[in-house]
Chains A and B, each alone.
Chain A
Amino acid sequence: MNAIVSVLGRDKVGITAAVCVKMADYQINILDISMTVMQGNFTMIMVVDLENMTAPFGEVVDACDALGKELGVSIRIQRQEIFDAMHEI
């Protein structure tokens, strides 16, 4: 099962690193990352594999939320099917 991690907010040092560490904490494997900074706004999309995830989905959502607050950005993790449903026929 794949999920999309999306990160949005003001750029600063260490956002990508912190998010990657958090994924590793839960044994979530990162399949793809794209990241851009435009006019100081940081956006990152990660495709991740939840096959070996070590905690319930809700706990990971809460952890991402807490990390986002700490870093001053929004971090969310959502199952990929919702994006596929909306944008692919």
Chain B
Amino acid sequence: MLTQKEIFATIEMIDRQHLDIRTVTMGISLLSCCDADARKACDKIYDKITRCAENLVRVGRDIETEFGIPIVNKRISVTPMALVAAASETEDYVPFALALDRAAKTCGVNFIGGYSALVQKGMTAADEKLIRSIPEALDRTELVCSSVNVGSTRAGINMDAVALMGKIIKETAERTKDRDGLGCAKLVVFCNAVEDNPFMAGAFHGVGEAEKVINVGVSGPGVVYHALQSVKGASFDVVAETVKKTAFRVTRMGQLVAQEASRRLDTPFGIVDLSLAPTPAVGDSVARILEEMGLEVCGTHGTTAALALLNDAVKKGGVMASSSVGGLSGAFIPVSEDEGMIAAAQSGVLTLDKLEAMTCVCSVGLDMIAVPGDTSAETVAAIIADEAAIGMVNNKTTAVRLLPVPGKQVGDSVEMGGLLGSAPVMPVHGESSAAFIRRGGRIPAPLHSLRN
């Protein structure tokens, strides 16, 4: 029997601690939409998405109303578009992005992910066409998100793709400079990308997935922060236990919503992603959790250890609460989307190098970081290479979502609005990595990739 205390604890988590379901994402396979005629393929893509996700937003709202828990985002992920578009005899892939955008608008979702290519070992002609079309695709669409996987533990790092992505990110920023390079906020470069990630901008529907599937991403930094306030000064054993218990509760709610959405949409339940996803709202920050553990400012010495504990405890608490855990599952550290990270970066304590160290122990990578507009494509590529190396060697997903904001310098700030927040422009090293990036080829997979 529920007690009054338990009922009010849940209500307080939702009302005051920003507890919400961050996203209900429907994954849809578009492999059946391949057609030699690109126009026909685009029509099939639009029809299939709008048919499968017709009720997604309405069902999401119904669940919000009945359970009294906000579902912040309803989204769609699709098969990496390079695989679908490969069948079409065309040089121009932008119409595929426009079809995705139209379908997303018809369904009423706020993002659609999967304008993607998986090139960890090599690029097909279609992969390269898609990648080269990304700047225009992100400029001409509003809701389309793009991702490119450039490395994996099994395949190594495709340095030709890394070099190309440096240029593509710069070009995307330039094409969307009237919006402060906003296009780059919708573009992620991965190592070890996962096939069932519900979070944007990196969501796509992997080829090993079913026809359609419901994946749910939970949130809850505010709830964890609040729980830690009740164990001030206690040992790390107590801190870890407190985070685990909180993550369990949050995930149980995600599991409930996922099952309910799956049933109502007659779509198989895929996974619950146990990520701690912050928002720019005060009280919903991962950085503030780390500071609550005893750090004066996030980014100072001890931050990596604090994040390692947090990330591990979130997984341990969450894994028992869901029948199927997947996606990225860990603490996110997007700078612009986290009020505490923004403050720490503005104060100069949190640097790009420290963020890179933090990505070794958490999900996912260098995320939503604004860098000066005159950062070279080679430097952007070298940052991607470093991050991909961390993912490759540590057998984990890493990602880079950088915004080289045209015309902005260190000390400036970029306002993106909404959940994307605002980002202080952070310094990068001025010394050149150009000769390193020019080498091209592939960084071989590490020895521990040979596990058979």
List residues of A whose CB falls within 8 A of some B CB.
Answer: 4, 6, 8, 34, 36, 43, 45, 57-58, 61, 76-88
| Chain B residues near A6 (CB-CB < 8 A) | 7-8, 11
Complex Cα–Cα for A32 and B69 (A)? 23
Complex Cα–Cα for A82 and B9 (A)? 12
Complex Cα–Cα for A6 and B9 (A)? 12
Complex Cα–Cα for A76 and B15 (A)? 12
Complex Cα–Cα for A81 and B249 (A)? 13
The distance from the CB of A3 to the nearest CB of chain B, in whole angstroms, is: 8
Complex Cα–Cα for A6 and B5 (A)? 12
Nearest-neighbor residue (CB-CB) of A4 within chain B: B7
Interface set, chain B 54-78, CB cutoff 8 A to A: 62, 65-69
Asked if B215 is at the interface (CB within 8 A of a chain A CB), the reply is no
Complex Cα–Cα for A78 and B62 (A)? 12
The 5 lowest CB-CB distance pairs between A and B, nearest first, are A78-B68, A85-B256, A87-B6, A85-B252, A82-B67
Cβ B66 vs Cβ A78 within 8 A: yes
The distance from the CB of A13 to the nearest CB of chain B, in whole angstroms, is: 22
Asked if B253 is at the interface (CB within 8 A of a chain A CB), the reply is yes
| Chain B residues near A4 (CB-CB < 8 A) | 2, 7
Given contacts A8-B8, A76-B68, A86-B6, could you give 10 more A-B pairs where the C-beta distance is less than 8 Å?
A6-B7, A6-B8, A45-B4, A57-B66, A58-B62, A76-B11, A78-B67, A82-B67, A83-B10, A87-B249
Cβ B249 vs Cβ A86 within 8 A: yes
Complex Cα–Cα for A79 and B4 (A)? 15
Cβ B2 vs Cβ A87 within 8 A: yes
Complex Cα–Cα for A45 and B69 (A)? 18
Quick one: which of A58, A76, A82 contacts B256, CB cutoff 8 A? A82
Complex Cα–Cα for A81 and B8 (A)? 15
Nearest-neighbor residue (CB-CB) of A58 within chain B: B65
Count contacts on B: residues with CB < 8 A to the other chain: 19
Cβ B255 vs Cβ A83 within 8 A: no
The distance from the CB of A23 to the nearest CB of chain B, in whole angstroms, is: 16
| Chain A residues near B256 (CB-CB < 8 A) | 81-82, 85
Nearest-neighbor residue (CB-CB) of A78 within chain B: B68
Complex Cα–Cα for A85 and B8 (A)? 14
| Bitwise interface map of B from 1 to 27 toward A, beta carbon under 8 Å scored 1, else 0 | 010101111110000000000000000
| Bitwise interface map of B from 248 to 273 toward A, beta carbon under 8 Å scored 1, else 0 | 01001101100000000000000000
List residues of B whose CB falls within 8 A of some A CB.
Answer: 2, 4, 6-11, 62, 65-69, 249, 252-253, 255-256
| Chain B residues near A34 (CB-CB < 8 A) | 4
Cβ B2 vs Cβ A84 within 8 A: yes
Cβ A85 vs Cβ B66 within 8 A: no
Quick one: which of B4, B8, B62, B69 contacts A82, CB cutoff 8 A? B69
| Chain A residues near B255 (CB-CB < 8 A) | 85
Cβ B253 vs Cβ A61 within 8 A: no
Most-contacted residue by chain B among A80, A82, A83, A86 (CB, 10 A):
A86
Q: Say whether, besides A4-B2, A34-B4, A58-B65, A82 and B11 are in contact (CB < 8 Å).
A: no
Q: Say whether, besides A76-B68, A78-B68, A79-B67, A86 and B253 are in contact (CB < 8 Å).
A: yes
| Chain B residues near A45 (CB-CB < 8 A) | 4, 7
Complex Cα–Cα for A71 and B399 (A)? 51
Quick one: which of A43, A58, A80, A84 contacts B8, CB cutoff 8 A? A43
11 intermolecular pairs with C-beta atoms under 8 Å apart = A61-B65, A77-B68, A78-B69, A79-B67, A82-B10, A82-B253, A84-B2, A85-B252, A87-B2, A87-B6, A87-B249
The distance from the CB of A77 to the nearest CB of chain B, in whole angstroms, is: 8
| Chain A residues near B9 (CB-CB < 8 A) | 87
Complex Cα–Cα for A81 and B258 (A)? 13
Cβ B65 vs Cβ A83 within 8 A: no
Cβ A83 vs Cβ B252 within 8 A: no
Complex Cα–Cα for A43 and B67 (A)? 20
| Chain A residues near B67 (CB-CB < 8 A) | 78-79, 81-82
Cβ A43 vs Cβ B4 within 8 A: yes
Complex Cα–Cα for A76 and B4 (A)? 14
Nearest-neighbor residue (CB-CB) of A47 within chain B: B2
Cβ A83 vs Cβ B66 within 8 A: no
| Chain B residues near A8 (CB-CB < 8 A) | 8, 11
Cβ A79 vs Cβ B66 within 8 A: yes
Complex Cα–Cα for A34 and B5 (A)? 12
Complex Cα–Cα for A80 and B252 (A)? 14
Nearest-neighbor residue (CB-CB) of A35 within chain B: B4
